[in-house]
Amino acid sequence: MLDISLRVRVHVETLPATQNDMGVCDAFEQYVPVGKPDAMNAPHPPKVAGIDSTVPAPAHTVASVSTSTSPGVPQNPPSPPGALLQDRLAGWVSDLTTLHELTERLVRTATLDEALQELLRAGAALVGARRGLVVLEPADGLGPDTTVGLGLGRADLGHIETVPRSSLPYGRILDGLPGTDDGVVEADLFAEKGLDPRHREVAARLGYAASYALPLTTGSGRRLGAAVWLYDEPAEPEEHRRHLVGLYTRYAAEHLARLLELERTRASMATIADELLPARLPRVPGVQLAARHRTCARGGGDWYDALPLPDAALGLAVGSVTGSGPSAVAAMGRLRASLRAYAVMEGEDPVAVLSDLELLLRLTEPARSATALFGYCEPALRKITLAGAGHSPPLLLGERRTQYVETSVSAPLGMLACWEAPSVEIHAEPGETVLLYTDGLLHRTGDPTDRAFARLHAAAAGVPAALRNDPGAIADHVLRTVLPDGADPADTPEDVVLLAARFA
C-alpha cells in the first residue's frame, strides 16, 4: 500500500541514508573514498513516503561508466562522487511527485464512476497507453457490476463483451486463474498462438494490438475487479512502469472499496425509502398526479402520499422527519402510515388530521419533530383544503399566474405541547397545477431561503407551454431548473420530494 502524505519533504542531509533501502547502496559503495569509514552502517531513518525496498531504479536514471582502456580511445572523465546517486534520487523524487499528484486527484473523486474514470486516466498515463477499460465485479457477488471505458464507446465495450470471457485478460483475472495476480501481459495479440478467433477479430475491429491488465485487489485480498489498458501497436510496459502502476492500483483499490461500500449503502437506503413510499399514484377523475423523489446518500425522512378518500375525494400529503439515516427512514414510514389512517377517518378536516399526527409523534417519537402538509382535494370542484405544520407553502402555477399559496405560520409537529393552525383553501382554474414539495428542494440549492424561493418561483413560471399539460414534465422541468448539474451534491443530507397535481 502506497501511503503518500500531502507534501513530500526531502531533506538533503538525510537523503543518502533515507535512500539506503531504495536500491542505491551500490552507488554509495562505488564512490566511497578509500580509507573513510562506511557511513552505511548508521541506523536507517524511516523510508520516504512508504516506498518499498523492491522498487527498481527508474529506467531513465540508469547510467553506464566506460571502462574501455583501448589505446587511442579517449577516456570519459570519471563521474564525480555521488553523481549517480543524485540522478537516481532525482528520479525517485519525480516518481513520488507523479504518484502524489495522481493519488490526490483520485481521493477527490466522490462517486464510484468518477473514481473508475480517474483510475483509467492515471493508469493510461503511467503505462503509456491511450485506451482502456475497468471491469468492476466484486468477488462477494453483491455488486454493483459495471464496465467503464476510456476512449471506448458503448458499442466498443459491447464488442469486447462478445469475446469469450476465458480468453480475455480481465476474465482470467476475475476468475482467479493462476498466474494472474501480478497482471496479464499480451504484448502482441496477432502474433500470439492460440488466441481466440473472436478476440483477434474484435481487436482488429477496434484497432488495438496489445494489452496490459491488472487486478484491483485490496490489502486484505478482496478482489474488486480488473483494469485493462490497450495499445495501438505491439508493446508492453517496462518493469519500472509496471511497478509504478502497481503501486497506484493498490492504493486505488482501497479507495474504490470505500466508495463501493458507500454506493451499496446509498442503494440500500434508496430502496428502503422507495418501498415505504407509494408504489404508484391513484387515478382520480378530474386530476392528474406525478411525484418525484430524490433520496440523500444516508437516507432521509421526506415522504409524499396520495390516497383516494370517500366521496371521490383525494388526500395529498408531503412531509419531512428530522434527521437522516435508517432511524429517520423508519420514523418516516411510521408517520406516513399513521397519517394515512387519520386521513381515512377524518380527511375532510386537515387540521384534525395533523393534530392527531402531532399527538402520536409527541407520545411515540418524543425526540423527533416533523413538518407536514396535508390537503383534502375535491377534484370536481378543483379545490384543496390545506393545513400545514412548519412546512413550505405550495406553489400554484398556470397560464395566468404563478404564485405561492398563503398559509398560516405554524410550528413543526412535536415542537409545541399542543399544535393547531387554521386551514386554507386553494381554488384552481382548469389546467392549473399545484406543486407540493419538501424543504430539501430549497436547501439543496445552497442559497438563502428568500433566494431559494425566488429560484423555485422562476422555475415554475418558466415551464414551457408545451409541458404544462403533463404534471410529470412540469416536475422534471422544475427539478432540472432549480437543481442543475453541480447544484445537487450527492453527499447532501437532504431528501427532495415534489408532488404535482394538475386539474382538468
Whether residues 247 and 290 fall in one domain: no
**Does residue 4 sit in the same domain as residue 38?**
yes
Cα dihedral value 151, 157, 160, 162, nearest 10: -170
pLDDT tens column, 293-311: 988 767 778 999 999 999 9
What's the number of domains the chain is made of? Answer: 3
Q: Which of 269, 296, 324 is the last residue of a domain?
A: 269
- How many Cβ atoms are within 10 Å of 445's Cβ, its own excluded? 19
**From 247-256, 266-275, 421-430, the region with the lowest mean pLDDT:** 266-275
**Final residue in a domain of this structure, among 247, 269, 291:** 269
| CA atoms of 365 and 348, how far apart (whole Å) | 26
Query: Is 227 part of any domain?
Result: yes
Instruction: Evaluate if pTM is beyond 0.85.
Output: no
On whether both 51 and 151 belong to a single domain, the answer is no
Element (H, E) at 370: strand 370-378
pLDDT of residue 242: 94
Residue 210: what pLDDT?
A: 95
**Length of the chain in terms of residues written:** 504
Q: In this structure, are 355 and 375 located in the same domain?
A: yes
Q: What is the pLDDT of residues 42-86, one digit of tens each?
A: 333 333 333 333 334 444 333 333 444 445 555 566 666 678 888
Structural domain boundaries enclosing 414: 277-503
CATH of residue 317? 3.60.40.10
**φ, ψ at 286 (rounded to 5°):** 95, -10
Q: Which residues of 13-43 are buried (b: 16+ CB within 10 A; e: fewer)?
A: eebbebbbbbbbeebbeeeeeeeeeeeeeee
Q: State the Cα–Cα distance between residues 312 and 332, nearest whole angstrom.
A: 27
214 and 361, same domain (yes or no): no
CA atoms of 189 and 209, how far apart (whole Å) = 5
CB 486 within 8 A of CB 279: no
Q: Which of 50-64, 65-79, 204-218, 256-270 is predicted most confidently? A: 204-218
In a domain, 255, yes or no: yes
Dihedral sign, Cα of residue 152, residue 158, residue 162, residue 164: positive
If asked whether residues 84 and 145 sit together in one domain, one would say no
Query: Which pLDDT value is given to residue 37?
Result: 37
Rounded to an integer, what distance in angstroms lies between the CA atom of residue 442 and that of residue 436? 12
Per-residue model confidence (pLDDT) at position 276:
85
Last residue of a domain, one of 68, 91, 108: 108
The stretch 388-395 carries a mean pLDDT of 92
Residue 146 forms part of a structural domain: yes
Please indicate, yes or no, whether residues 149 and 96 belong to a single structural domain of this protein: no
Residues 418 and 498 in one domain: yes
Copy the grid coordinates of residue 232.
495501438
Dig out the grid coordinates for 214 from the structure.
Answer: 491488472
Cβ atoms within 10 Å of 259's Cβ, excluding its own: 17
Answer yes or no: do 125 and 191 share one domain.
yes
Residues 99 and 150 grouped into a single domain: no
The reply to whether 126 falls in a domain is: yes
Give 439-487 pLDDT, tens digit per residue.
999 988 889 999 999 999 999 999 999 999 999 999 999 999 998 764 5
Name residues whose C-beta falls within 8 Å of residue 87's C-beta, 6 or more positions apart in sequence.
61, 63
In this structure, the answer to whether residues 34 and 133 fall within a common structural domain is no
> CB of 395 within 8 A of CB of 404?
yes
Distance CA 150, CA 130 (A): 8
Please compute the mean of the pLDDT values over residues 289-294 and round it to a whole number. Answer: 94
| Cell reading at 395 | 406553489
Residue 348: which of 400, 383, 324, 304 has the closest Cα? Answer: 383
CATH number at residue 235: 3.30.450.40
Residues 139 and 97 in one domain: no
When the pLDDT of each residue in the chain is averaged and rounded to a whole number, the result is: 83
- The set of residues, in sequence order, having a beta carbon less than 8 Å from that of 380 and lying 6+ positions away, is 285, 286, 312
Mean pLDDT of 180-201: 91
